[in-house]
Chain A
Amino acid sequence: AQKITQTQPGMFVQEKEAVTLDCTYDTSDQSYGLFWYKQPSSGEMIFLIYQGSYDEQNATEGRYSLNFQKARKSANLVISASQLGDSAMYFCAMREGETGTASKLTFGTGTRLQVTL
């Protein structure tokens, strides 16, 4: 079974609109972390936002917020007020377990977001 599932290969959004990128995950660990990364066409991976499994509040970082629904095992990324520079691939990733076993990041297959005028 896939550990991280991103069901939207591609998304379009108009400039200044909000967009939600879906991510569901599968783990039996109680302690885990969920991350979102942005990958522009140049290739580098840019860390956007983090949500811990024990965090009660949804994470926010500027225009990025994470809609964390633990019972549904979903961690959707919401980008508000989209900008042309937001056009990129977006990856959801998970890190499982406590210290010593938590080294591996498992990535989804990504969603390509295109922001239009």
Chain B
Amino acid sequence: DGGITQSPKYLFRKEGQNVTLSCEQNLNHDAMYWYRQDPGQGLRLIYYSQIVNDFQKGDIAEGYSVSREKKESFPLTVTSAQKNPTAFYLCASSQGVKSNQPQHFGDGTRLSIL
């Protein structure tokens, strides 16, 4: 079945450690996105990519990094510079970037500090 796969479902980070969240899609979508969700809040955009080898910062990019080497993959690294990484991370993709194209989401990764 076509969809977006995020792994792992749960992730724990030690102080000073970088961790990478995986996002893979087989929908043949051009655009991919990473969002962060804190309890009781909506989603905030971290990074997005419209095409392979290109990505842009969202509203809260500090302390995060991404790469887009393949169309189907958009991994997110939470670096040690991100001082408050505990959150629910959601990856999404869309066919393009026109305003009428919905984003489809993965099941998310919950990141916690040890």
Contacts and interface: CB of A to CB of B under 8 A. Distances in A.
B31 A44 contact: no
Contacts of A103: 31, 33, 48, 50, 56, 97
A31 B100 CA distance: 9
Interface residues of B, number: 30
Contacts of A32: 99
Contact of A47 (B45, B50, B90, B104): B104
B98 interface: yes
Nearest to B44: A107
B108 interface: yes
The B interface, classified by DSSP as helix, strand, loop or mixed, is loop
A31 B99 contact: yes
Contacts of B58: 104
Given A95-B99, A103-B33, A104-B48, A44 B105 contact: yes
A96 B100 CA distance: 10
B113 interface: no
Interface in A35-87: 35, 37, 42-47, 50, 52-53
A11 interface: no
Contacts of A108: 42
Interface string A99-110: 110111101111
Interface string B71-101: 0000000000000000010101000111111
Interface of B: 31, 33, 40-45, 48, 50, 56, 58-59, 88, 90, 92, 96-108, 110
13 contacts: A32-B99, A37-B105, A44-B107, A45-B105, A47-B102, A47-B105, A50-B100, A50-B102, A102-B98, A103-B33, A107-B43, A108-B42, A110-B42
